Amino acid sequence: MDETRLNRVRLRAWRRGIREADLILGPFADAHVRDMTPVELERFEHLLEQPDPDLYAWILGTAPVPLAFDDELMAALRAFRPFERPCL
């Protein structure tokens, strides 16, 4: 996979504009973009083009996800817990 493209996607995920979105999408990109297929990476790039308030609401489940984005990628984003720590 093209390293420049992967770095660009990771940077876009971390520099969204809404910090809350950055803190979900950035760690998700760090954890998953290298393992994505070209089709999955393209879908993730398309998702990153969406407005922050909409994307954030879809991930949190406070707004319905449009059918075009209601797929395995969105399910993975909604299940992703970058800062969750196990209880002691």
CA angle 52, 56, 62 (to 5 degrees): 135
Averaged pLDDT for residues 16-20: 88
DSSP assignments along 50-68, one per residue:
S-HHHHHHHHHTSSPPPGG
Q: Is the pLDDT of residue 45 over 70?
A: yes
Asked if residue 77 lies in contact with residue 24, where contact means CB atoms within 8 angstroms, the answer is: yes
User: Does 85 map to a domain?
Assistant: no
User: Does 87 map to a domain?
Assistant: no
How many domains, in total, are found in the chain? Answer: 1
Give the residue, 88 or 58, on which the prediction is more confident: 58
DSSP assignments along 21-32, one per residue:
HHHHHHHHHHHH
pLDDT value of residue 36: 95
- Is the full-model pTM beyond 0.75? yes
pLDDT value of residue 88: 55
User: Does 86 map to a domain?
Assistant: no
DSSP 81: -
- Domain of 44, in residue numbers: 3-79
As a whole number of angstroms, the distance between CA 43 and CA 82 comes to 21
Residue 43 maps to which CATH number?
A: 1.10.150.250
